[in-house]
Homo-oligomer: A and B are copies of this chain.
Amino acid sequence: MNRQNILELLEQVRTGAVSPSEGVERLRHFPYEDLGFARVDHHRTLRMGFPEVIFGLGKKPEQIARIVRSLLPQRCNILVTRCSRAAYTRIRRVVRKARFHEDAHAASIVQDRTVYGDGTIHVVCAGTSDIPVAEEAALTAELMGNAVERTFDAGVAGIHRLLSAREALVRARVVIVVAGMEGALPSVVGGLVSVPVVAVPTSVGYGSSFGGMTALLAMLNSCASNVSVVNIDNGFGAGYVASLINRKR
């Protein structure tokens, strides 16, 4: 449509109905996006292998299922975060191969199995209560075409458990570290590896943990220089950033 408008203008320039300098004037009044849509296409190409993500929280099963249906033709992977079992049941009626991930509170539909990642993404978490966030991160990374390894329940108060995983950690291209309470784990992991560490504070804790704020602040003040941080409980964001870091060029 907009392409049409510009084409018509250029036709008029070609026929002399509009002078070039007048054409410049008219072009000025076309809104940006009219010219920009091709870029959006290129953009889409650039974004191959990116999943479509539906934030399930606060959406009704019926709504989620409808969005899932509309996304299917794009042939990309689909991730539904904060997805209830009820919503999953409804999704399955739309697409049989949908899977439910109990730990991650998420559903997924895999349509693209291409490997987009260069190396391994390692997801570490401190306690068993951090697993839902860690699994959301891991699942996101998997749906974005990455090999993922997991080391769960490796809190800093039992440092030997973490040290056991050291060989695997050192192999990774990116490490995601998920921790609540005092949020100390990313600093320790950051000291063990030479790759970027994406830290995710969780809202696990009580009293002065302030819903994850203590862990968040601790991570931002990490004495390890290779740590950057995402929002509290933002497993998806960590998985997404890690996937971009690991992405083949």
Q: Is the CB of B231 within 8 A of A207?
A: yes
Q: Does A226 touch B at the CB level, under 8 Å? A: yes
Interface residues in A150-181 by Cβ distance below 8 A to B read 155-161, 163-164, 166-167, 170, 173, 181
Stretch in A70-78, A84-92, A96-104, A217-225 touching the partner? A217-225
Q: Does A184 touch B at the CB level, under 8 Å? A: yes
Q: Is the CB of B47 within 8 A of A27?
A: no
| Interface bracket on A | 35 or more
Q: How far is the CA of A50 from the CA of B25 in the complex (A)?
A: 26
Q: Is the CB of B13 within 8 A of A218?
A: no
Digitize A225-244: 1 where CB-to-B-CB distance is under 8 Å, 0 elsewhere.
11111111110111011001
Q: With a CB–CB cut-off of 8 A, which chain B residues contact A182?
A: 183-184, 187, 217-223
For the residues of A in contact with B, the DSSP-based class is: helix
Q: Is the CB of A24 within 8 A of B6?
A: yes
Q: 26 A-B contacts, Cβ less than 8 Å apart?
A: A6-B27, A7-B20, A7-B24, A10-B10, A13-B14, A27-B35, A31-B164, A32-B163, A53-B225, A156-B156, A156-B188, A181-B222, A182-B218, A182-B219, A184-B184, A184-B187, A184-B218, A188-B188, A206-B233, A207-B212, A207-B232, A210-B217, A217-B217, A220-B229, A220-B230, A227-B241
Query: A residues within 8 Å of B by Cβ?
Result: 3, 6-7, 10-11, 13-14, 16, 19-21, 23-25, 27-28, 30-33, 35-36, 38-40, 43, 46-47, 50, 53, 58, 118-119, 126-127, 129, 155-161, 163-164, 166-167, 170, 173, 181-184, 187-188, 190-192, 194-196, 198, 201, 203, 205-234, 236-238, 240-241, 244-245, 249
